[in-house]
């Protein structure tokens, strides 16, 4: 059992991602006993603190003042205060500010103790139903369409489930891009409003989900899971995926200046498939194009 809250220690405390009951007994004790609570938005954290009748001094740190606040917080820790660091939701530092404070504290030799709890990424993985033996967390998808496209293209040959945070107003566009780049059959899970009243998991292939969503406006917070590449010999290689192969081959030739043979070698490596198998698929799509 960890003892009472220690002086001069930075506690990195996970808070709920929706349901206020999702907070550990240890997190509550640390928040109750810490000399200072460093939070992103004081109004937001106050709601949680009020719910649990916790009245401790708070100090805000966020993306724009984190560098400066990190120095202030570390000074307070060096003076012997105990500090509990929280973010608006989930685990601080995970696609959230917090990293700079933690890094500076470590550099100054201040003990850093994580107090684990919810995180949207892990919660989505736990209920999503895609393989969890290995996964890659990529944080927020870039807002700019070019960068987003580049990132999605990188996922063609992903060998682990991919976890992303995405804004609700962009989810349809993103799904359409996934269909276009990764193919209609790529497994996808949209985990929406996790742990809240309107929690919802939309599971299926990218193409199915795009159709199912139709004109529906998806609101709230979304974590997106993309299943790993199952290779061109699996069912995932519908006609669209085969066309994608050809597109990717052309891209490698264009961008890296390779002839078709060398580009094919690279493509096969990306897909983790024998070159002959990939070549056969390419011939299939090319013969389909002929009149």
List interacting residues with ligand SAM (CB under 6 A): 17-18, 87, 89-91, 94-96, 119-121, 165-166, 191-196, 221-223
How does DSSP classify residue 218?
P
φ and ψ at 137, to 5 degrees? -95, 125
CA atoms within 13 A on the CB side of 117: 30
- 8 Å CB contact between 105 and 99: no
Task: Kindly tell me which of 106 and 143 has the beta carbon lying closer to ligand SAM.
Answer: 143
For CA atoms 229, 124, 177, 197, the dihedral sign is positive
The Cα–Cα gap between 68 and 146 comes to 33
CB of 198 to ligand SAM, least distance (A): 10
* Nearest one of 244, 225, 236, 238 to 181, comparing CA atoms: 244
CB of 89 to ligand SAM, least distance (A): 5
Which residue's Cβ lies closest to ligand SAM?
A: 90
The Cα–Cα gap between 8 and 210 comes to 51
Tokens of 171: 């989810």
CB of 167 to ligand SAM, least distance (A): 7
CB of 102 to ligand SAM, least distance (A): 13
Task: Kindly tell me which of 132 and 157 has the beta carbon lying closer to ligand SAM.
Answer: 132
Task: Kindly tell me which of 90 and 187 has the beta carbon lying closer to ligand SAM.
Answer: 90
Task: Kindly tell me which of 63 and 78 has the beta carbon lying closer to ligand SAM.
Answer: 63
CB of 98 to ligand SAM, least distance (A): 8
The Cα–Cα gap between 178 and 157 comes to 13
* Nearest one of 124, 128, 34, 149 to 83, comparing CA atoms: 34
The Cα–Cα gap between 244 and 226 comes to 17
Task: Kindly tell me which of 13 and 271 has the beta carbon lying closer to ligand SAM.
Answer: 13
- 8 Å CB contact between 12 and 85: yes
Task: Kindly tell me which of 50 and 63 has the beta carbon lying closer to ligand SAM.
Answer: 63
CB of 49 to ligand SAM, least distance (A): 18
Tell me what percent of the chain is helix, strand and coil, each rounded to the nearest 5. 45, 15, 40
Task: Kindly tell me which of 19 and 234 has the beta carbon lying closer to ligand SAM.
Answer: 19
CB of 242 to ligand SAM, least distance (A): 32
């Amino acid at each position: 059992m960890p003892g009472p809250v220690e002086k001069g220690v930075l506690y990195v405390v996970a808070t709920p991602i929706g349901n206020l009951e999702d907070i550990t007994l240890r997190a509550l004790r640390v928040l109750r006993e810490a000399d200072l609570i460093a939070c992103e938005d004081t109004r937001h954290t106050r709601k949680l603190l009020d719910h649990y009748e916790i009245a401790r001094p708070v100090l805000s740190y966020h993306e724009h003042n984190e560098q400066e606040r990190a120095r202030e917080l570390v000074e307070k820790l060096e003076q012997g205060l105990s500090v509990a660091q929280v973010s608006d939701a989930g685990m601080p530092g995970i696609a959230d500010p917090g990293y700079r404070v933690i890094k500076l504290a470590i550099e100054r030799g201040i003990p850093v103790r994580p107090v684990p709890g919810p995180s949207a990424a892990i919660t989505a993985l736990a209920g999503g139903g895609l393989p969890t033996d290995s996964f890659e967390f990529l944080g927020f998808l870039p807002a700019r369409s070019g960068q987003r496209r580049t990132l999605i293209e990188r996922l063609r040959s992903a060998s682990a489930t991919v976890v992303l945070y995405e804004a609700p107003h962009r989810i349809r566009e993103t799904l359409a891009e996934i269909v276009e780049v990764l193919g209609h059959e790529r497994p996808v899970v949209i985990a929406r409003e996790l742990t809240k009243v309107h929690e919802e998991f939309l599971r299926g292939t990218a193409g199915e989900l795009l159709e199912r969503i139709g004109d529906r406006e998806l609101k709230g917070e979304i974590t997106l899971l993309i299943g790993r590449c199952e290779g061109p010999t699996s069912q995932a290689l519908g006609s669209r995926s085969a066309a994608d192969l050809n597109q990717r081959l052309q891209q490698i030739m264009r961008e890296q200046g390779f002839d078709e043979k060398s580009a094919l070698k690279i493509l096969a490596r990306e897909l983790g498939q024998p070159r002959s198998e990939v070549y056969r698929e390419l011939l299939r799509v090319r013969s389909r194009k002929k009149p």
